Chains A and B, each alone.
Chain A
Amino acid sequence: QKEVEQNSGPLSVPEGAIASLNCTYSDRGSQSFFWYRQYSGKSPELIMSIYSNGDKEDGRFTAQLNKASQYVSLLIRDSQPSDSATYLCAVINTGNQFYFGTGTSLTVIP
């Protein structure tokens, strides 16, 4: 079982819609969770960190964490073509090891 799993997509949404990206993790004791955005040919860029159950909002982005179900999600409201990228979920497990999912490719259609 992989430490972090994501649906690879591709996920396509029309401009202005909500994009929903999901991630599950295997280590129940994990405490730190992150979402990164990676444009093609570029390095991953941190967009959200979340450490507690519930929602955390930052502009058009909302991260949701449910430790009981071991999933993390990222919602992007009012999706823009510039949001088209691969989104990586990352988790720090109980061994302080940083694991990444393989990423979900998002395309926002104008």
Chain B
Amino acid sequence: DAGITQSPRHKVTETGTPVTLRCHQTENHRYMYWYRQDPGHGLRLIHYSYGVKDTDKGEVSDGYSVSRSKTEDFLLTLESATSSQTSVYFCAISDSSQSPLHFGNGTRLTVT
């Protein structure tokens, strides 16, 4: 793995509760991404960051927020979890906008 750690690996939570997923990298890469992966939809970009405090929305950003206060950490927050946010969440990193992405091991989130 490319020095990317996601935590937690698994989480079950109830509808309406806040949830924060963490991505930590040791590669000093500038770009960090959060994706969700669902059957039939593939990987869809939620939010990404191109530097400390610099973030932007992806195609499925509604209901999610992110923060990046340090190069190595990128947090994804579900303010009020819904069942439609049950998914596998992947963090990815790259060192430039044209470089391939390298993925963390994923977080399986279940919202009941």
Contacts and interface: CB of A to CB of B under 8 A. Distances in A.
A43 B42 contact: no
A46 B98 contact: no
A100 interface: yes
Contacts of B97: 92, 96
Q: Is the interface of B mostly helix, strand, loop or mixed?
A: loop
B45 to A, nearest CB: 7
Interface stretch (B18-26, B62-70, B77-85, B101-109): B101-109
A37 to B, nearest CB: 11
A97 B41 CA distance: 17
Interface residues of A, number: 19
Interface residues of B, number: 16
Contacts, number: 38
Nearest to A4: B42
Contacts of B100: 32, 34, 46, 49, 90
A103 B33 contact: no
B101 A98 contact: yes
Given A42-B105, A88-B42, A96-B98, 8 more contacts: A32-B100, A34-B100, A43-B104, A90-B101, A92-B97, A100-B42, A101-B42, A102-B40
Interface of B: 33, 40-43, 45, 90, 97-98, 100-106
Interface of A: 31-32, 34, 42-46, 49, 88, 90, 92, 96-98, 100-103
Q: Which 4 A-B pairs have the closest CB atoms?
A: A102-B42, A43-B103, A100-B43, A96-B97
